[in-house]
Structure 1
């Protein structure tokens, strides 16, 4: 089992007391969940309206990005890293920030508009697009919720690490949705002492302030913590920014971003366990 040591920063701690894990596409396989949800919904639309399912998926993704960016909530959503695809199924019913309440209000309209516009662009007539858009919006929410996938090594590695490490989650996004993702995988939340969600803090990774707040609430020093995540622009950049040991989980052999070096790079959670051993 090969572990790639990308760089060794001064003062790196080889025996961390606390492991800070990212959630999406680190422990849970969110990309697969979303992809399969789209495929199921677009197949249904193909059967109901005669549109091309693959084309509809591409159009729905385009419309989601375009429309989500048009709302005045976009700046806040970007800061806490709520994506346009998450807004297709998030309830936004937790958290106190006024923008979360506004997102809660906007979301039902947003979902219908995304599917209506995509259907129209895919060739469905106007009346059919109007009638079917609400069904597709509801169906996507249900399909995504029915697919709480985790990676094959998630539970094995967490079980192995729990006796010897303090473990917490630090995830960007809407408080209600991110907590739902954790709760939707039976037993996942039991491994973690705390779940920190950017929506409770107004900004997310890579901003240093959220890392500082996590350390303060845990009573930990930066030298005693490692950050493990798949996203170089949030997980790795943020950890590096405060001098925390960073572990890039690079399952798909992606090229690193120039000028951004994690402390370690691993291709699986199993390699992380070997590194810690």
Structure 2
């Protein structure tokens, strides 16, 4: 059983949303700007500035997002582009918040004075919110006695490991944690699935991939011949050409599928 991490076991989208709300309220209080508007503008600026980074191509290959770059340490892994991201991150974060504040109506002087504080506060707020779905532990507990279980997650090695370690007991359910940042490419590239299979001594036909992302988790699993289970918690529309073996609306649905096998 190969599990994705973000928005499969941990509720990353909620953690990010709550962190933005907390920090943007501070921006509203201290700079007289609208909190909702600032959040939208920070998201826009993050995407724009992250694309301009010289490590963007590598970050895209291992699937580090612009929002993860707002709080990742980038202090593990050997790839030189990880060191570049580590070096670039403080400037990137400060500029994202400064630009968003100015666009929201703050003066340049106020935006410059507040940007570093807000950037640091976002790091702290996100780090304080390791939120898991309510069915995560019950399903993992039920499956662990019967199956080998590993995590396969895209992203920065330090950040993804921190996400696992930040939820008490989560890592105990998994034999291994595979992170794309250690291998230069991530899901859906076949090479990372082959690496996992080689490390485990397993064949693709004997493995299930469970994840929320059709373009990475499901497409990649399909391409190498694994059973793919799309965890569609929010009722997303399927993507043409990417057909999961199974679709479920909760992790409990995964356990139900295995009961019927």
Q: 2:197 is matched with which residue?
A: 215
- Take 2:252 and 2:225, find their aligned partners in 1: how far apart are those partners? 24
Residues 1-277 of structure 1 correspond to what in structure 2 (within 5 A)? Answer: 19-277=1-259
Deviations 1:13-64 (A, max 9, x none): xxxxxx0000000000000000000000000110011100000000000000
Q: Secondary structure at the match of 1:133?
A: helix
- Take 2:38 and 2:234, find their aligned partners in 1: how far apart are those partners? 27
- Take 1:121 and 1:256, find their aligned partners in 2: how far apart are those partners? 36
- Take 1:232 and 1:260, find their aligned partners in 2: how far apart are those partners? 7
- Take 1:236 and 1:270, find their aligned partners in 2: how far apart are those partners? 18
| 1:259 Cα deviation after fit | 1.6
- Take 2:229 and 2:219, find their aligned partners in 1: how far apart are those partners? 11
- Take 2:241 and 2:85, find their aligned partners in 1: how far apart are those partners? 35
Deviations 1:146-190 (A, max 9, x none): 110000000000000000000000000000000000000000000
Structure 1: gaps of 5 or more residues:
1-18
**CA root-mean-square deviation:** 0.4
Q: How many aligned positions are there? A: 259
- Take 1:273 and 1:176, find their aligned partners in 2: how far apart are those partners? 30
Greater RCO (CA < 8 Å, at least 6 residues apart): 1
- Take 1:266 and 1:183, find their aligned partners in 2: how far apart are those partners? 27
- Take 2:150 and 2:242, find their aligned partners in 1: how far apart are those partners? 24
Q: 1:16 is matched with which residue?
A: none
TM-score (norm 1): 0.93
- Take 2:109 and 2:241, find their aligned partners in 1: how far apart are those partners? 52
Q: Secondary structure at the match of 1:252?
A: coil
Structure 2: gaps of 5 or more residues:
none
Q: Secondary structure at the match of 2:149?
A: strand
